[in-house]
Structure 1
């Protein structure tokens, strides 16, 4: 069951402040320490995450699957590029799946890139409905995330609610 917006805000308040405290001092806030501790817990189960990425590579053989996880973000993040190979050839879009380490929710979105030669000039994020070329890998991401982690999709209307917290 997807948590309510109020429940999600309550969870977020445990890990981020409503002021700029951590940006104005050299010392991490108590909330930042709590997020670090949560990451330490989550990383103890990283084998499950790596198995998930390996499974995605099997079900999306025409894509390059990557781990886009970056702490202190509060999620594991996977990406699917619509090309295969190393080094990565130029690509115009990517599908991203994010699984929260704080609440039983996930989100899938797409990013389209504007390019001039090898340089990226900009990007545009797409949520539901995704552009046609992104729908199939996004549907696979969503299905595999739900099967593997037992989490629910974060409804777009909830994701668009402004949050009165300071998050890097």
Structure 2
């Protein structure tokens, strides 16, 4: 498959709206109906996703592996976690730690995937900052990201979306994003890339 922003936009238009016509109504939009029907179909094949989790755990035993899938998003998501590590803090009484997560997403809307990273900073147990990284990832995220990408491609036969296409602005609403801030990434994968359980 040749990935183009135009083709992917034509696909996501079937599932996301460009207006607020159905906001506050009991009636669901045709786009939401299609989206929920598609999720019902995809969830019947969830076993393949769990097999991927097992494969990742075997390939990356030093990391925590999690399922970050949420049906409000348009993708299955997996996460590869590090343990928290101490970081510098100017306040001696506060414990500051950092962890990072590599996230693999497989869209339910098109045969495409993307891998990205998130860095979390904590003060005690409180998350005080997060930062999302797309290609190129920081060096410490690259090796596990390559494993995630290889496993996703082998298991699902999907193609990676290049960053420049994922960042294409689209005229659709993927809550909480509205034009001109909505991107193909939001529509194909998740509107909250920093939110990884």
> Same fold judged by TM-score > 0.5?
yes
CA distance in 2, matches of 1:62, 1:20: 46
SS at match of 1:69: coil
Q: Which residue of 1 aligns with 2:7?
A: 7
Q: Which residue of 2 aligns with 1:117?
A: 124
Q: Which residue of 1 aligns with 2:50?
A: 50
CA distance in 1, matches of 2:17, 2:68: 25
Is contact 2:65–2:78 with CA below 8 Å preserved after alignment? yes
Q: Which residue of 2 aligns with 1:87?
A: none
TM-score, reference length from structure 1: 0.92
Q: Which deviates further from its counterpart, 112-121 or 52-61?
A: 112-121
**Unmatched tracts of structure 1, length 5 or more:** 85-89
From 139, 156, 170, give the equivalent of 1:149.
Answer: 156
Q: Which residue of 2 aligns with 1:94?
A: 101
Is contact 1:111–1:125 with CA below 8 Å preserved after alignment? yes
CA distance in 1, matches of 2:126, 2:168: 33
Deviation at 1:3, TM superposition (A): 2.6
From 164, 168, 185, give the equivalent of 1:161.
Answer: 168
Q: Within 5 A, what are the aligned runs for 1:16-55?
A: 16-55=16-55
**Unmatched tracts of structure 2, length 5 or more:** 85-96, 176-197
Is contact 1:67–1:79 with CA below 8 Å preserved after alignment? yes
Note the alpha carbon deviations across 1:60-104, whole angstroms, 9 max, x for none: 1011100000012110000011139xxxxx751111000001101
CA distance in 1, matches of 2:57, 2:107: 21
> If you compute each CA radius of gyration, which structure gives the higher value, 1 or 2?
2
Deviation at 1:136, TM superposition (A): 0.7
Q: Within 5 A, what are the aligned runs for 1:64-83?
A: 64-83=64-83
Q: Which residue of 1 aligns with 2:63?
A: 63
Runs of 4+ in 1 over 6 A off after TM superposition: none
Is contact 2:83–2:99 with CA below 8 Å preserved after alignment? no
Coordinate RMSD, CA, aligned: 1.5
Report which of the two has the higher share of helix.
1
Is contact 1:80–1:137 with CA below 8 Å preserved after alignment? yes
Deviation at 1:127, TM superposition (A): 0.6
Deviation at 1:27, TM superposition (A): 2.6
TM-score, reference length from structure 2: 0.79
